[in-house]
Structure 1
């Protein structure tokens, strides 16, 4: 592992050090050669001077000359080796620098966090969009043929659920070690990638199954649209009834569902008409794009209308349950006092406020049950009898409402609301209904905040803005972009014009 000091050293400074080392080695070799020159000169034979008779001298000088001559070869070899070593060092350093500079820089913690959030959103969008398309394909074939696609969606949702569980632990501060936290983010991205891969692998096969001709599928979508339009017309009366019976809060939520459902149906009307004209003129690719956009809008309108009907049914169930839940809660408090069990602070005030609402006029019975069950959640008797039934009803209503809201606004919703919703689903299955209801309510609040921050779409003649908000269109062009299709992040935009 490279030390922090080495990592922090500028590259040009490292290059200068290498050059200086090379210069020093070359200078040493040159100096050794310069010192050896006199010795070499002394060994050259005399050619012009006649021989002289020299006086007798000791043999020591002769031995010195021999020693100097013997040193010439080792010095030369050493110098050559030094030059080769210096050259190799520089070449190796250049190769290492090039390798380091070409390697991608490790992402920062903030960048890894952002990548994980984006992967969760993309994978969740892909699963939800794939679920919306499959019923339209089912109308043209048998269930056995569609079994592999249902299995792919189930597998993708399992991977996504595991990724959300990892993300929830990460957001809660687990694990604590920085290295383990980086590994957790890598695992989240990997799980999301696998979910997308499973859906991508089936996308082309589903296209072949549905066929290139849009005519039969258009007939299926048009029939689904007509049935839903009839239901949506009655939804307005349902919303008005809920407002009168259960107060403005319940009525406002119901009215919002009706308005958005009508917006999606307006969009579906325009796209079905465009798709039919394209099919009649032989423009099959364009017809398929219009068809898929209409299918997505019809699916979301169906979710909104069905959610309104489900809410009305649960409000009626809750209204019938509130008196019994109040009686059960008061009995539980009395039993706790009799046995010396500490009573939660504010529980008596909560029950008194709910009892007063029963006679004061219209009220939201689901909200009343939510307050009752939360006030007594820590008491032993709160998980039995009528209180347990009330907690389960409240939790399922809260999870269903948050699920519908995220689905039909997914074009604007980030990772945090989706993660809380996934945690609420796991908590409800545990089962811990009171905690699940709290998580689902918080998920809805965060999702609503994201939608408001994104900006509510202005009303337009064809409802394209609402389709972008709902994720029916990918929102990548001024006209809303291509419709989303069955598949993962790699194939979900394959209906873009020019990519077929």
Structure 2
């Protein structure tokens, strides 16, 4: 008994310690959340001054919600210290709620202030950003004539289709730089006038325009380098493709290999003569695609040669065998439905599903197909054999169910006598009853006999 009371005392002491810790957490959280509201309120004033009222709407709404819920937390804390005695459970529930409300408030304000952090930082650096945009515009303008010369030089070597992606870049870059400088001036004037929202929009626009202009000018130089690289790669791909064709002609010929050889030969034949402006990127892409298709066709042909395909007549025999076994299983189960269990029915349903999938795979009725191309024979045979296997299992399981459901004492057990059954003959009674039970609902028939 002393041990029991000692255990109860320790448990009570642990619970009191937990409650005391929860109370301390509640007080600390309440003070922290209240201070966070004060700090965030000051941040909101600054953010509104930098970004405008619309940009800070979500932070303002979050502060209003937090103040409302923190009022509930203060009320709960007051109840903990009023003159009305509270039970430990009441104190525990209130303190847990205070901690929950304060943590929610801190998380919400963190989320909203972090969302504005980048915009506030950009607004603070507005003079620096504007100065940088103007410097970039001056520097990039000096590169535009060189970009135009590069485009003209490229036009003498590459086709109009190839140059379409960079031909207009210098003119577009010049327009963007003009827009960037104009937007920078608007950002300055709106900021001086206290129109912070408009100033920030203009600031973002000028920085983005300058960035895009730099990208367009860089793209011209990048195109020249990449085009030269594509030409070098194209020469290597042409040599490799000719070697691949020579190898492919010695491989086992399948329709897919022959078609792939023809496509690669056509791609090689379409290469322009020397001195003609070309699109090295398009030519390289076409050759790579045709080369990869030939590699894939050869790999499949080699795999097929290592594993000979079944002759068409074997595939036809497999389909016919599957259909026959499926038909037998369906007839047996249909004729003895009252005796057939779930296993046999499941195998039959799966066999029928695979048979339907076989027709879909071949794109026509497998039993009526006069020919099956080589690419489909192996899979078709596997599916047909699967149908036969499932149908055979269904038939075995159905026979098991039928055998286990037959009367064990012979045909005389159905009534009548050794010479006279239900049907008037020696075995007529059992045959008739078997047909009835196999084809009709057993319960309703038996009810009729009993009546």
Same fold at TM > 0.5: no
Which fold has the larger relative contact order, with Cα–Cα distance below 8 Å and residues 6 or more apart in sequence?
A: 1
- Give the TM-score taking structure 2 as reference length: 0.37
Larger radius of gyration: 2
Relative to the length of structure 1, the TM-score reads: 0.34
